Chains A and B, each alone.
Chain A
Amino acid sequence: MATIPLERAANAERPGLWSRATKSGTPYFYLLPAAIVMGIITFYPLGFQVWMSFTNYGLANLRLNAPPPTFVGLDNYIKILTNDLPLQNFNFLNMLSFNLFWTFSNVIFHLVLGILIAVILNTDGLWGKGIYRAIFILPIVVPQIIIAAVWLNMYDPDYGAINQLLAFCGHFIGLSSALFHIRWIDQIDPPIPGVPLTLSYFALLITNIWLGWPFMTIVATGALQSIPKDLYEAADIDGASGSQQFMNITLPLLRPAMVPAAVLGIITTFNLFSLIYFLSAGGPLHATEILLTQAYRLVNENQLYGVAAAFCVYIFFILLALTLIINRVTRATESYDV
């Protein structure tokens, strides 16, 4: 594997030098604003939320001089796990597994498509590269609520563009258009028997793939452009085939750039609130509900603040576990000087 000499050597410590420039309090001084802000607005609410989760905090406790909520111990936590809430079709473990599957199935598609398209775009002598790049940016700059509304319209069973397109294609193989009133969002039965994924999931998947690969392409493009051409020429001289070059030069050199991008993609997709909330609204009977949309509903629609707090504590630990696992797998943060 070719390695590129980088700044790691340059970043080696030169002991004593830095202490010349810094007074003993300087690091803390630089850290102070962040520490204060994060302390007040990130950590304190999280701690408060833990307290809330052990109470039955609700509407009655919102007012300034309202009575404090009563302590209910682990009640909220147990109720969430045993699906004992006054909500219909609430199943915590299903939601969690759907959320995880949703995240990884999406990111895989984003990565693969993003890299492939970036490689195509990077071809020497290709016409109109700039135009294509400008076009491919567009999904990113449109807010998700708009994308969800437009695609929701496209998934309309009777007049939507997707069904019309499918009917058009089906026409050529002799299928009648009556077959193509597919109820993408509303259909409860999974299309593939045995696989518990509703059509709503596939609709969301298609939309999010449309939305997600441009970002990976941008990152990959930048990384591709910094791969020296000599490597490929050297490989040519050595007699490596095209696919060997792709596998052994392109992909490994893309890896450092794509790994943080993939991590970012995992984070965003796991917490993809707006698209799911507005496109499938949690899917038919909450089949496509993710943790974040359910947490929002608990606060917004049900005003069950204590339960919502317990739910969010669950989310915190799940996300923490996910972060640690990802860190371990990608060693993304270890390459920094922790």
Chain B
Amino acid sequence: MSSQTTSLGNLMARATGRTQGSSSAGHTLSLGRQLLLQAMLLVIAFTVLFPLLWVVSLALDPRNISRPTTLQLIPPGASLQAFQSVIAQPTVNKISFLGLALNSLKLAGGTAFGSLLIGVLAAYSFSRFRFRGREALMLGVVTVLMLPAIAALPALYVLLNRFQVVDVVTHKIIFNLRDSLWGVGFAMISGMLPFAIWNLKGFLDTIPKELEEAAIIDGANANQVFIQIVLPLAVPALAVTGFLGFMSGWTEFAVSWQFLNNVQDHTLMMELYNMIGQYAGNTPWSKFAAMSILVSLPVSIVYLALQRYIVGGLTIGGVKG
């Protein structure tokens, strides 16, 4: 076993030029090694890109084929028609892409923002203060940490269904919390909040207390310390947690499908499922592929905007020994 790991280590060392006697600082890579690494990375990039390029190819293909027979990136007669019809109305249900996107945005943005706001307050409390019941409450958070919203779905479904505003005369349900985006949002926060608290607490633990202590010595109270000193320092942590929360909300399917009936409340994931929920032979692949691309864009944009923070934030928690 150890010889295997050693040879693996050798492989890594040779590949990256870090063999005995080479100084790594500022040393450029020899051409041979460069090409070797480029070859490896190109193969890896190919495996990553292949399915995605295929989606692009399907989205541009006007023939709406279900199974491409040849592997071409730009199919013959490529057109943006699939995109146009998706933006107008993706499936037969009468809601436009924009309507769906707004619903998804409300859900994802709302739950991410909500869990951040509540979570950072709780995380700060756990991180900085010592108070009675702290261990027990932390334990409470940890026990539900791994529990996704789906694992509480029976109870959430039944309970949220009881919040109904009923017209006493006609017995018509005017508002059913379960059958609304609010209900889905609440159900999702039940799963997101513990993780946000735990994650943010971890990050806050790594922020040195000296700045805050200096401020306290200068006469600031806890609130001022929190808002003016800690929050700005915690921005990477907030970015990471917010991004993860947004992504989880944007791609959420199970709870929204179980809860929502009204087409006007549907999210993007639900309409994607509507497209493929039929037999695969009837899936409108061009439209599905076009919609896939459009759906992935916002998350990519958010990621690119927060990239610096995300990469930094993900590793802050780690570099603490």
Chain A partners chain B: yes
Is there contact, CB below 8 Å, between A28 and B131? yes
- For chain A, the count of residues having a C-beta within 8 Å of the partner chain is 130
B97 contacts the other chain (CB 8 A): no
Which residues from chain B contact A8 at a C-beta distance below 8 Å? Answer: 320-321
Interface string of B1-45 (1 = CB under 8 A from A): 000011111111111111111111111110000100110110011
Which residues from chain B contact A23 at a C-beta distance below 8 Å? Answer: 222
Is there contact, CB below 8 Å, between B152 and A222? no
Q: From A310, which residue of chain B is reached at the shortest CB distance? A: B154
Is there contact, CB below 8 Å, between A338 and B13? no
Which residues from chain B contact A139 at a C-beta distance below 8 Å? Answer: 48, 52
Which residues from chain A contact B22 at a C-beta distance below 8 Å? Answer: 236
Is there contact, CB below 8 Å, between A48 and B159? yes
> How many A-B pairs with Cβ below 8 Å?
382
Which residues from chain A contact B145 at a C-beta distance below 8 Å? Answer: 267, 323
Contact of B67 (CB < 8 Å), options: A122, A143, A159, A315:
A159
Q: Please provide the chain A residues from 243 to 262 with a CB less than 8 Å away from any CB of chain B in the complex.
A: 243-247, 256-261
Measured CA separation A331–B202 after assembly (Å): 13
A121 contacts the other chain (CB 8 A): yes
Interface string of A282-324 (1 = CB under 8 A from B): 0000000000100110111000011011001001100110110
Interface string of B80-98 (1 = CB under 8 A from A): 0000000000000000000
A312-B315 contact in complex given A154-B51, A241-B20, A242-B20, C-beta closer than 8 Å? no
A146 contacts the other chain (CB 8 A): yes
Majority secondary structure of chain B interface residues (helix, strand, loop or mixed): helix
Q: What are 24 A-B interface contacts by the 8 Å CB criterion?
A: A6-B320, A17-B216, A18-B216, A26-B222, A31-B121, A34-B118, A37-B189, A45-B156, A48-B159, A49-B154, A126-B37, A140-B247, A143-B269, A144-B251, A145-B273, A150-B54, A150-B292, A153-B285, A236-B22, A256-B320, A312-B151, A312-B153, A316-B151, A319-B151
Which residues of B approach A to under 8 Å, CB–CB? 5-29, 34, 37-38, 40-41, 44-45, 47-52, 54-55, 66-69, 71, 117-119, 121-122, 124-131, 134-135, 137-138, 140-148, 150-159, 161-162, 164, 166, 186-187, 189-191, 193-194, 197, 201-202, 205-210, 213, 216-217, 220-223, 225-226, 247, 250-251, 253-254, 257-258, 269, 272-273, 276, 280, 283, 285, 288, 292, 295-296, 299-300, 303, 310-312, 314-315, 317-321
- 10 nearest A-B pairs in the assembled complex, by CB-CB distance: A242-B13, A257-B318, A243-B9, A222-B315, A34-B122, A27-B129, A49-B155, A30-B125, A159-B67, A45-B155
